[in-house]
């Protein structure tokens, strides 16, 4: 048996330290953002893992960039936190310089430049979503490698591989706020039920530009895991 008192890189009795002790802290995750009639809904699970070990059951992967712009993070937790801090800092400077709130595209473009420029050293998949005075609610997907595209619905993380058929079948344009929230919640639950790296609670955010972000947390006993009622 490995002895916890030994250095994680050392051997004891011919047995190496467990992989999860030296694995990078990552966000095996499910993140989703959807444009609806009036703004955007963002959502994510809350499981943060280190290898096969669940390091945090209630991580918050919906990160503020500005009051009206948020990002959903997947990949390395350290990398995505550093990137979001950098983008937030630069958009704060832009707001002070111009005297107005930054556009969502400005934030998305900064994310893209960072993810692309450091694609060989960072593991970061970002969904940048928010509301601005020019284009209303917007969702931009910046996957690994640094591509940038606006989508009415975007998803990412390890759990997204289980959702393509469900999302294509259930998504519709110009949903109401409640329809969009239900859509994102159900999709994340489907992924959590199938992906070992997704779990915990569902965190939602609604951004409309009329007020600060509206945050919701849906706990395990209230999650719609059952698939029999999907039409």
In the chain, where are the structural domains located? Answer: 24-222
* Per-residue model confidence (pLDDT) at position 24: 57
Q: pLDDT tens digits, residue range 112-148?
A: 999 999 999 999 999 999 999 999 999 999 999 999 9
Residue labelled with tokens 């859509």: 183
Is residue 73 within 8 Å of residue 48, measured between CB atoms?
no
Mean pLDDT of the chain: 88
The predicted structure's pLDDT at residue 23 = 59
| Least confident window among 2-11, 104-113, 145-154 | 2-11
Exposure string over 114-138, b if 16+ CB within 10 A, otherwise e: bbeeeeeebbbbbbbbbbbeeebbb
Whether the per-residue pLDDT at 231 is higher than 50: the answer is no
What is the pLDDT, as a whole number, of residue 3? 46
User: What pLDDT score does 27 carry?
Assistant: 59
102 HSE (CA, 13 A, CB side): 25
Least Cα distance to 167 among 175, 155, 150 occurs for 155
Question: What confidence score (pLDDT) does residue 230 get?
Answer: 43
Rounded Cα distance, 156 and 172, in Å: 19
Mean pLDDT score, 48-77? 89
d(CA 2, CA 70): 42
> What are 93's two structure tokens?
């400077």
State the catalytic residue, choosing from 22, 29, 161, 185: 29
Question: Quick check: is 176 catalytic?
Answer: no
H or E segment at 177? helix 177-194
CATH 3.40.50.1370, domain 24-222, yes or no: no
- The pLDDT of residue 221 is 83
pLDDT over 90 (residue 7): no
Q: Which two tokens stand for residue 214?
A: 């509206």
Task: State residue 118's pLDDT score.
Answer: 95
Rounded average pLDDT over 6-21: 55
Task: Return the top range by mean pLDDT from 24-33, 102-111, 166-175, 208-217.
Answer: 102-111
Question: pTM to 2 decimals?
Answer: 0.85
């Amino acid at each position: 048996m490995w002895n916890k008192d030994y250095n994680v890189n050392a051997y004891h009795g011919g047995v190496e330290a467990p992989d999860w002790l030296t694995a990078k802290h990552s966000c095996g995750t499910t993140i989703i953002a959807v444009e609806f009639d009036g703004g955007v809904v963002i959502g994510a699970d809350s499981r943060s893992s280190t290898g096969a070990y669940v390091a945090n059951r209630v991580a918050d992967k919906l990160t503020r960039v500005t009051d009206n712009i948020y990002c959903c993070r997947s990949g390395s937790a350290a990398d995505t936190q550093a990137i979001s801090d950098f983008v937030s800092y630069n958009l704060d400077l832009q707001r002070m310089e111009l005297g107005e709130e930054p556009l969502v595209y400005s934030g998305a473009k900064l994310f893209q430049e960072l993810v692309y420029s450091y694609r060989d050293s960072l593991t970061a998949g970002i969904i940048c979503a928010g509301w601005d005075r020019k284009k209303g609610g917007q969702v931009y997907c910046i996957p690994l490698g640094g591509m940038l595209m606006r989508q009415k619905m975007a998803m990412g993380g390890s759990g997204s591989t289980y959702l393509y058929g469900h999302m294509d079948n259930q998504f519709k344009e110009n949903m109401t706020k409640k329809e969009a929230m239900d859509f994102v919640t159900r999709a994340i639950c489907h992924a959590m039920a199938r992906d070992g790296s997704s779990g915990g609670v569902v965190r939602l955010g609604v951004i409309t530009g009329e007020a600060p972000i509206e945050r919701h947390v849906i706990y395990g006993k209230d999650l719609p895991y059952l698939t029999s009622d999907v039409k």
